[in-house]
């Protein structure tokens, strides 16, 4: 499951702004997004990821994704760095 990928990742980026910056610098290996995240907020990030051919995985819960990152708040998106 994708939560385990997040937990095991050596370098990860949490959050939309930081993920967008990493994508612009072509540092992202894959993205993990939460199904319950606001797709409007993620639209720019997802479009850029698709243009670059970055794989996009989904998980069911922002809360669980944040927990997998070791933070106490929900996370809409996590990027795993190259």
Taking only the tens place, the pLDDT of each residue in 39-64 is 898 999 999 999 999 999 999 999 99
Dmax over CA atoms of the chain, in Å, equals: 32
- Considering the entire predicted model, what is its pTM? 0.91
What class, spelled out in words, does domain 2-81 have in CATH?
alpha beta
Q: Spell out the domain ranges in the chain.
A: 2-81
First to last CA, the chain: 19
Q: pLDDT by residue (tens digit) across 23-40?
A: 999 999 999 999 999 989
């Amino acid at each position: 499951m994708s939560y385990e990928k997040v937990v095991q990742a050596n370098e990860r980026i949490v959050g939309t702004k930081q993920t967008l910056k990493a994508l612009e610098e072509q540092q992202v290996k894959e993205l993990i997004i939460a199904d319950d995240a606001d797709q409007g907020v993620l639209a720019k990030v997802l479009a850029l990821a698709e243009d670059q051919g970055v794989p996009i995985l989904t998980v069911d819960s922002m809360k669980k994704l944040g927990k997998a990152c070791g933070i106490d708040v929900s996370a809409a998106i996590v990027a795993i760095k190259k």
